[in-house]
Structures are given as C-alpha cells and as structure tokens.
Structure 1
C-alpha cells in the first residue's frame, strides 16, 4: 500500500474519562468488518482500512462479540497476529448479545455469560487481554452489583484493563458508578451511546451524569446510519439513494424507522447548507459537530471503503464558526419535555431560586452551548 501521511489531529489523544487511558478522538468502529450481514468489508479491505487508520495515528478500535457473527473480532486478531503492534492499540469489545439461541445463559449481563463471552473474544482477537470491555446493553435483569463485581474481578485478574457501559439508562450508570466509589470497585471509564445531530436525547441525563461522575462519552452512529452523510435524498419522509440505508430502512428495526421524520430531514437540509458554506462534505461537518460536544472523548466512525475512512478522518480539521454552529443547534435542539423546562436558563435568571441575585457557576445539567467542551 502506498504510504500516506499521518493525520496530526488524530494523534492528539484524549483521556478516557477519569482514567489514564489515552485514546484517539476518532475510534475505528469495526461492525463492518466481515460480510456475514449482507454488507460490510471482506478481509482484505478490512485490513487495509485498519492499516490506514493506524498509520494515520489512530489507536482506538471498537468491536463486539456479536458483530458479523464474531468475524469482526477474528479479523482484528488476524491483523495483529500478522503485523504485530497489538500492545500499541486500545482494543475494545463488548458482551451481552446472545449468539446461541435456546441457551438463556449465553447472553445478558450475568457472571456466567460475561466469562463465556470474554473467553470467546480473547480467542478470536488472539490476545490475552482486552483494553476496554463494554457492557453492550442493559438487560433489565442482572443486578448491577453482580455486573460491577464481575468486571472488577476481571480487571484484577488482568484479563481486562478498563470497563464501560453501552446503551444503558442514565440512572443505571449513576448507580453503578456510585457503587464503585462506595465499595472500591473498578470505576466506569466511558459510556458508549448513540449521539448525532438527529439524536441528542443523551444531553438530558447521560452527558450531565458522565460529566459529574467522571466518565467519557464515546458516541456511536454520529452520522445517523448515513442519513447525515449527504448522499441520500428523501422520498416522502423515506429515503432513497445508493447505499445500505434504503435497504435497512425497511427492516422493521425501530432504530432505523425513527430516522425518517420531517424534523430530521430539516436537520439534513440545515447540515447541507452549512456544509456548502464551509466547502466541506456534510459527513465531515456532522462528525466535527459531535467530536466537539461536552464530555465526548472519542467518536466511533465506520467505513467500508478506504476513501470513506480517509474523508471521515479529515473531519477533525473542520472548524464550524459560531453563527453556523448556532444554525445546527437551532435545527437539531431536542424537544423540551418535563421536567427539563423548569431548568431553562430563563427560569433561573428570573430569580425563582436565587432571589434575583447572580450566580456565576452554571449547574452541570445546563444544556451545553454549541461547541463548548
């Protein structure tokens, strides 16, 4: 492969929450490694994408035991077995998803499944430790005490280095982190959650909780499954264009169905207008917006082609001037619902709590202004 330059901004590492782990501001998501799901990259392409990301200065890889039936982890393991350099990267993988129908203990967040899942991941990744181990999703069943004690035990055994939670309620994270602080367990370093211009609901509870309790935010789907890439057009409120979004939009998955609304198409229109003014692709502007949000340490990007990866990495160089950032803010601001309307700045400046005096320190749960870190 022809040598291409390092991207300096990709190598300006961030600490992952209140830990000492240093990660790139863009994380390479590898859910597209493998073709078992009917889309994605074969081994040769996946390895080229991984090689370019590392060459550019990236060090943070995200996968899961359930991605492409385990092929994603396997391809990562094969790459480092062939090329070396495993200790120079941060490999994150996940457990929770049941890949053995009929076996109730081959999924979820109980101790039995965590050990089963980790052993399989270590085998496929061809390594004896995972840098960051994510709980993939709240299962609604397993006591948080069992989860935290199990993960802490694995850290102490040296099989994992740090722990994180993905797709959990904010109260669950807060309870887990408080339990860790009270009982001397391993603290949660990060939360992996969906976050984009069209999905900002985590700003209500998750981001304030993360800022208060010392965890980083690692957004997934920052391009809203491609809706914010700029390559699709609307058909009614649906979508058309070349790519996987039109096909998966008919899958019945509520995560995809929620994308196609009048509000979201309005956000796409605003994004395209801002991108034209900046002379940048919409995808780069959308990614640049996410990477600069409060609490965000590393944003997960995916790619099925090398050119796509290269373009996405350049998002770190995009600066969004304040007037254009405000345009995106206005178009995408989440609906104000109960009880958050009580916490608006105007309510406080009206003197309801302060008696008309000035209080300079904002509560941590104030809505962040555009671009503030």
Structure 2
C-alpha cells in the first residue's frame, strides 16, 4: 500500500472542534467516508488560535470522537497529524512552541494518540523546523516512533529543501526511518517571490522543492490549495503577495478551462494539482457537505492536453 497515496484529496480537519461543532464535523466526516475519502489531516496545535483555552487538540479530539461513534471506521481511514508547533504556554506562540526535541516528540505523539483514540497513525509530520535541536536527535526520535509501530511513515512540513535532504541523509546513516513525504504551501496561483505571507510559518513550494519531491519519489502534500475560498468567493480577497499581473493571466486561463469543462475554479485547481508531476495530495478544508461534494468531484475531472496547455503556458 502506498501510504502517501499520491494524488488523493486529504480532508483538512483544522477547525473541527472550534469553528465547527460536533454535528457539522460529523456530517462532513460521514460524507467524506461515504465518497471513498481516506486521508484525514490534522495537527496537535489545531486550532489553538480559535480555542478559548489558547491550546490545540480540539481537532484531534473531534476525530477521536468520530472514530469512537463509528466502530470499524478507523480501519477505513488514514490519519495524518503533526507535532512540533503546539504552544506550551497559552498566548505566547510562537515563543513557546514545543519544538522537536526527543522529549517533545514523545510527549506530543502520546497526546495525539490519546486524543485520537488510536494506537497508531499512518503519517506523522514534523510541523515546522527546529534548528535548536541537533538533527541527529530529531531523526533518531522520529525514527523510533516508526520502529515501535506507533507511526507508519514520516513527513516534513514547512522545511527548507536542504534541511529535508540533510535529515534524510542522516536517517540513512543511522539506519532510521527517513522522511518520505514533504508538505508545503502550494496552489495554481503563485505569490511574488520572497514576499512576506500574512500567515506566519508558511513555506511556499518552489520549483526546486517540486523537483526534489519528483526526483526522490516523495509524497508531496499541499496546504492552502484553494486560498481560503478566494478562487470562488468575491468577498474573499487574495492575499497581497498574490495580487500581480501573472495572477490575472492565470485566473483567465483557469476560467477558460473551467468553462470548457463545465467545472468550477476549485475543481480545476485540484485536478491540476493531483494530475501534476509530482502528483500532489491537496489538503482541503470545508465548512459544509455541499463544499465537500464540490471538492471530491474534482477527482473525476480529466484535464486533457489542451486544458493543461492553457493552464501551464501562463508565465
């Protein structure tokens, strides 16, 4: 089984338990399972900025409650969660991030497994870099979670490509499990290079990162794929780094393809990501079953050579 399941949509559970209550979260999860979805993506720090306690964990707890309410469903789903970026002191993020020390990794993983109500997870991510901890120690601690069966595979989120390569080389030298997936911010529209994003900690995919994933045959996961609704909703303006002339050309190309295929902008973007090289696993968060149905329909959208030429010829 290809645990990274390249080119498959992952349901983002970021706001389950905070913005989205039990009934709304369960309805989305039920429909996702009904439509054959497999990957559920969360993190131990989701969503501390929405929770009155100032701490994360609500998303994982909601998924755990859904597993508990649906006997047998856990065996049908693959869980992806992240550690390293949770605040240890409410209201002091990022200063109090837990980091990636061996002790922090062990404590975070134990907490995630308890909240999820499971004894293992399919994919564990180092959510952010931690350059205060020797890479040897990080690699050994993460590798140990695979060796003891609590984790199936490891991924690096928001890491520089050179750090990811160094970590993989370190794992090889140690005989430890290496990172086999990488996760970065990526979509059809591209921000101005080197522009500061309004979202702290986000790392944008570069051609170099995509080439590395393709060459090394790594799973490539992308977040913020639909730009928080900006493709579809006029009331959701694009972040400033995405407002430039290339965006106008890309949106025109996107509309041309969407019209010709009878699809939505969102569906074309997701089909383009999943059908690319490397094949991307887009993480998509939704707030309703109707939005989920639109998103999942992109799996059946075929972009022929003409459509791809229109989309890829924009420069």
TM-score range (shorter-chain normalised) is 0.7 to 0.9
Deviation at 1:203, TM superposition (A): 4.7
Structure 2 counterpart of 1:5: none
Matching of residues 279-298 of structure 1 within 5 Å: 279-298=262-281
Q: 1:139 to 1:282 in 2, by over 3 A?
A: same
- Gaps of at least 5 residues in structure 2 are 48-55, 192-203
The reply on whether 1:83 has 2:70 as its aligned counterpart is yes
The reply on whether 1:194 has 2:194 as its aligned counterpart is no
Distance (whole Å) between structure 2 residues aligned to residue 152 and residue 159 of structure 1: 10
Contact 2:16 2:25 in 1 (8 A): yes
Deviation at 1:324, TM superposition (A): 2.5
Structure 2 counterpart of 1:336: none
Which of 209, 215, 237 does residue 212 from structure 2 map onto?
209
Matching of residues 254-333 of structure 1 within 5 Å: 256-331=239-314, 333=315
The reply on whether 1:231 has 2:233 as its aligned counterpart is yes
> Structure 1 runs of 4+ off > 4 angstroms?
102-106
Deviation at 1:212, TM superposition (A): 2.7
Distance (whole Å) between structure 2 residues aligned to residue 212 and residue 305 of structure 1: 37
Deviation at 1:226, TM superposition (A): 2.1
Q: Deviations over 1:217-265 (max 9, x none)?
A: 111122122222x322xxxxxxxx1xxx45xx7xxxxxx4423334324
Q: Matched residue of 2:297: which SS?
A: helix
- Gaps of at least 5 residues in structure 1 are 1-13, 233-240, 250-255, 334-373
Q: Deviations over 1:186-242 (max 9, x none)?
A: 0212111112111386352112222333311111122122222x322xxxxxxxx1x
Contact 1:29 1:61 in 2 (8 A): yes
Deviation at 1:297, TM superposition (A): 5.0
Q: Deviations over 1:276-314 (max 9, x none)?
A: 122111110111101111122522121100000001100
Contact 2:273 2:280 in 1 (8 A): no
Distance (whole Å) between structure 2 residues aligned to residue 70 and residue 298 of structure 1: 23
Which of 65, 69, 72 does residue 44 from structure 2 map onto?
65
How many residues are treated as equivalent by the alignment?
Answer: 291
Distance (whole Å) between structure 2 residues aligned to residue 311 and residue 106 of structure 1: 36
Q: How large is the Cα RMSD of the aligned pairs?
A: 2.2
Contact 2:6 2:219 in 1 (8 A): no
The reply on whether 1:219 has 2:222 as its aligned counterpart is yes
Contact 2:14 2:46 in 1 (8 A): yes
**TM-score, normalised to structure 2's length?**
0.85
Distance (whole Å) between structure 1 residues aligned to residue 33 and residue 289 of structure 2: 13
* Higher alpha-carbon Rg: 1
Q: Deviations over 1:51-78 (max 9, x none)?
A: 1111111111100011122111110000
Distance (whole Å) between structure 2 residues aligned to residue 312 and residue 60 of structure 1: 14
